[in-house]
Amino acid sequence: MTSLPSTADSSDRSHPSDGFLKLAVGAVGVVFGDIGTSPLYAMKESFIGPHPLVLDEMHIYGVLSLIFWTMTLVVTLKYVAIVLRADNRGEGGSLALLALVSRGLGGQRSTALLVLGVLATALFYGDAIITPAISVLSAVEGLTVVEARLEPLVLPLALIILVGLFLIQARGTARVGSVFGPIVLVYFATLAILGVANMVHHPEILGILNPLWAVRFFALDPALAFLALGSVVLAVTGAEALYADMGHFGRRPIALSWLTLVWPCLMLNYMGQGALLLDQPEAISNPFYLMAPDWARLPLVLIATLATVIASQAVISGAFSVTHQAVQLGLLPRIRTLHTSESAAGQIYIPSVNWILMGLVGLLVLAFQESTRLASAYGIAVTGTMFITTCLLGILAITIWRWNRWLVASVIGPFLLVDGAYLASNLTKIPDGGWFPLLVGAVVFTILTTWSAGRRLLQERLAEGSTPLEVVVRSAGRSAIRVPGTAVFMTSNPVAVPPALLHNLKHNRVLHDRNVLLTVVVEEIPRVAPLRRAETVQLGDGFWRVILHYGFMEEVDVPAALAEVSTCGAPFRVMETSFFLGRQTLIASDRPGMAIWREKLFALMVRNAASAMEFFRLPTNRVVELGSQVEI
């Protein structure tokens, strides 16, 4: 009998010093911020969105039943019960899943597999732009419920909050992270209290737990019910965060938080909104805030805004992490990355990503101006990512978990049908704003694939004129003058001769006593054990081949790694070591490989990439760069 793998336990064991309950509370603040703010707009959009519904008992019960069973199938069964077990040495997310599946295929990424992983990453950036905009805007719109005359303040106040959020990213989340959990705990408690207070007038609303209400909804009007799926799925936006943030908290704390706190509080609030609408259909203009009594609405706006800021913080930090992973896996050029915590390696800040996100989020708010309009743009990115995750999960089940195909079809197949239905429903909203995440996804997809293909093409061009390593080692000793010290020649190809070495010999005719051909290999696992960090081979005549292995979640520090190497002759001393880097100037041509416009885009990305010196943490006064021109 085939059973689910227990590999995810490694993610739980990765936090031995952290209390289990502490991790569960932390997960509430970080992991569930996005899905926790969905009650601000999901119910409203289901009835007054692009495809309005009649506000009667049948439709209210039908929508609520769809919300409950969507949470049950998509979040609880798919993500909590199955997807969280697909951990890549404790890490989760689309790129971690792609790397895990690739490793199961012997390290060979098929074109289709790479496209799936890259497409999921591209859609994530669309989500990262829309989430702060719709969350903060929908929270601040509560001011109009408190006082209609405050409406002119909504847009400027939302922009001020969002700009302030991006401005403080450079400080990192270490200082405020400890208060995220308690604030969101208060927020979820508020959701539950508001829900119960309204449910007491209509306790029969609990009947929505019966899936027959969803079935009757589809039987009554199949077309409208199908279109309603595009709004209902807004209730589970942020479900992908459960998987992406697994490495920070572990599977069991996330599952505990969802099952015992988040899920019940969310459903109580949704049922409370439904009970309110049964009595006051006009409350559909903003059922979340109208559930509260007059005196409590202003404090509710404050706590909801704080919750949306936290949700936005989480997705922005996620964008930094995904970008870092993409760089390490060779899907993006080197990007300047800053660490905001001395103790937490995962807390990073990428200035270029931060400012691009801030600009796009601001433009999005100014262009759409209302959360209702933004909701139409939201679903496609979410459902697209969910659908791709399910596809990769199916491949994983076959290649790594070794499930038979009938089991995969019976377990993964229904999830594909559900995710496919939600994606198809959201595609109908393309004219109403759904084009935006598709546009962002297309641009990011083009950038990621161009860089990946360009790197491969550049390696092929450099290899065309390369000299066999044995020839260089044998002839260099006779033709070059030896000088004291160590020379480290950086090369991305572990079996080729570094271009910087060839140019140094050709123009300077000088070699050091020890010459190290150094390659940094980023493996498709999150972290590499220290004992596996360095691999050394003596090539003779003062030449050594050194390969440094890193995981895609780790930071590369070449001097620190070399200092630990004891199998490469004398110990490495920084002040006696020179680092030689090759810098290629790319010239677009009509040679086969890529379209001219993509070659020019790749050349532009190469020119604007962060320097190898900074990326590898090389000492600035010990680096020599030798340039060449390459036609691609």
Spatial separation of the C-alpha atoms in residues 14 and 248, rounded to whole Å? 9
- Residue owning tokens 């929505």: 208
User: Is the distance from CB of 584 to CB of 629 less than 8 angstroms?
Assistant: yes
pLDDT, tens only, 415-444:
999 999 999 998 888 888 888 888 988 999
Tell me the DSSP string of 298-357: HHHHHHHHHHHHHHHHHHHHHHHHHHHHHHHTTSS-----EE--SS-TT-EE-HHHHHHH
Report pLDDT for 155.
92
Q: What is the structure's pLDDT at 206? A: 94
Tell me the per-residue pLDDT of 379-421, one tens digit each, with 9 for 90 and over: 888 888 899 999 988 888 888 888 888 999 999 999 999 999 9
Residue 238 and residue 242: Cα distance in Å, rounded? 7
Model pLDDT, residue 5: 42
Residue 196, pLDDT above cutoff 90: yes
Query: Which residues touch 67 (CB under 8 Å, ≥6 apart)?
Result: 42, 43, 232, 235, 267, 270
Mean pLDDT of 351-369: 91
* Three-point CA angle 211, 286, 428, nearest 5°: 60
Report how many helices (DSSP H) and strands (DSSP E) the chain contains, helices first.
27, 8
User: CA-based diameter of the chain, in Å?
Assistant: 94
| Listed range (112-121, 181-190, 245-254, 262-271) with the worst mean pLDDT | 245-254
- What is the distance between the alpha carbons of residues 46 and 230, in angstroms, rounded to a whole number? 8
Cα separation, 157 vs 87, in Å, equals: 40
What is the pLDDT, as a whole number, of residue 341?
Answer: 57
Give 105-147 pLDDT, tens digit per residue: 665 556 778 788 888 888 888 888 988 998 899 889 888 888 8
Please determine, for residue 11, whether its predicted confidence score (pLDDT) is greater than 70: no
Q: Is the pLDDT of residue 18 over 70?
A: no
What does the alpha-carbon distance between residue 528 and residue 266 come to, in Å, rounded to a whole number? 39
- What's CA 223's distance to the chain center, in Å? 34
Instruction: In whole angstroms, give the CA distance from residue 626 to residue 629.
Output: 11
Residue 13: per-residue pLDDT: 40
- pLDDT tens string 445-469: 999 999 988 888 887 777 776 667 7
**Beta-carbon neighbour count of residue 122 at 10 Å?**
25
- Using the predicted structure, report yes or no on whether residue 88 has a pLDDT greater than 80: no
Q: d(Cα 546, Cα 436) in Å, to the nearest integer?
A: 46
Distance CA 365, CA 359 (A): 10
Alpha-carbon distance of 539 to 348, in angstroms, equals 38
Residues 321-340: tens digit of each pLDDT? 888 888 888 888 888 887 66
Per residue in 553-604, pLDDT (tens digit) is: 788 899 999 999 988 888 898 888 999 988 777 777 777 778 888 888 988 8
Band (39; pLDDT cuts 50, 70, 90): very high
Q: Does the pLDDT value for residue 1 go beyond 70?
A: no
DSSP string, 236-250: GTTHHHHHHTHHHH-
Contacts of 205 (CB under 8 A, 6+ apart): 61, 64, 199, 271, 274, 275, 278
Per-residue pLDDT tens for 465-493? 666 777 777 776 667 788 898 999 988 87
Span 503-538, pLDDT tens digits: 888 778 888 889 999 999 888 777 888 888 999 988
Contact 458, 586 (CB under 8 A): yes
Other CB atoms within 10 A of residue 433 CB: 22
Please give the pLDDT value at position 477: 64
Phi, psi of 600 (to 5 degrees): -70, -40
Q: Tell me, what's the pLDDT at 107?
A: 54
> Which of the four pLDDT bands, split at 50, 70 and 90, describes residue 12?
very low
- Given a contact cutoff of 8 angstroms between Cβ atoms, the answer to whether 61 and 274 are in contact is yes
Q: Tell me, what's the pLDDT at 21?
A: 75
> How far, in Å, CA of 117 to CA of 552, rounded?
15
SS (H, E, C) 469-531: HHHHHHHHHHHCEEEEEEEEEECCCCCCCCHHHHHHHHHCCEEEEEEEEEEEEEECCCCCCHH
Residues 6+ apart with CB under 8 A from 102: 108, 109, 113, 524
The answer to whether the beta carbons of residues 269 and 276 sit under 8 Å apart is: no
Give the pLDDT of residue 33: 80
CA distance 254 to 84: 9
Q: How confident is the model at residue 347 (pLDDT cuts 50, 70, 90)?
A: low
- Full DSSP string of 14-66: T-TTS-HHHHHHHHHHHTSHHHHTGGGTHHHHHHHSSS----SHHHHHHHHHH
pLDDT value for 281: 92
Q: In this structure, are residues 90 and 246 in contact, taking their beta carbons and an 8 Å threshold?
A: yes
Residue 307 reports pLDDT greater than 90: no
Considering the domain 9-433 in this protein, what is its CATH number?
1.20.1740
Q: Which residue has the tokens 């990011």?
A: 444
pLDDT digits (tens, 9 = 90+) for 205-252: 999 999 999 999 999 989 999 999 988 998 998 888 788 777 767 788
**Which two tokens mark 558?**
């070449």
The amino acid that residue 12 corresponds to is: D
301-311 average pLDDT score: 88
Neighbours of 611 (CB within 10 A): 15
361/430 Cα distance (integer angstroms) = 19
Q: What percent of the chain has pLDDT over 90?
A: 30
At 34 the pLDDT is: 82
**What is the domain partition of the chain in residue ranges?**
9-433, 467-631
Contact (CB, 8 A) for 11 and 31: no
By the 8 A CB rule, do 544 and 511 touch? no
In this prediction, residue 16 carries a pLDDT of: 39
Q: Which residue from 171, 198, 234 is spatially nearest to 39, judged by alpha carbons?
A: 234
Nearest Cα to Cα of residue 289 among 312, 272, 306, 267: 272
The dihedral region occupied by 286, where left means phi > 0, alpha psi between -120 and 50, and beta the remainder, is beta
Q: Is the dihedral of CA 53, 54, 55, 56 positive or negative?
A: negative
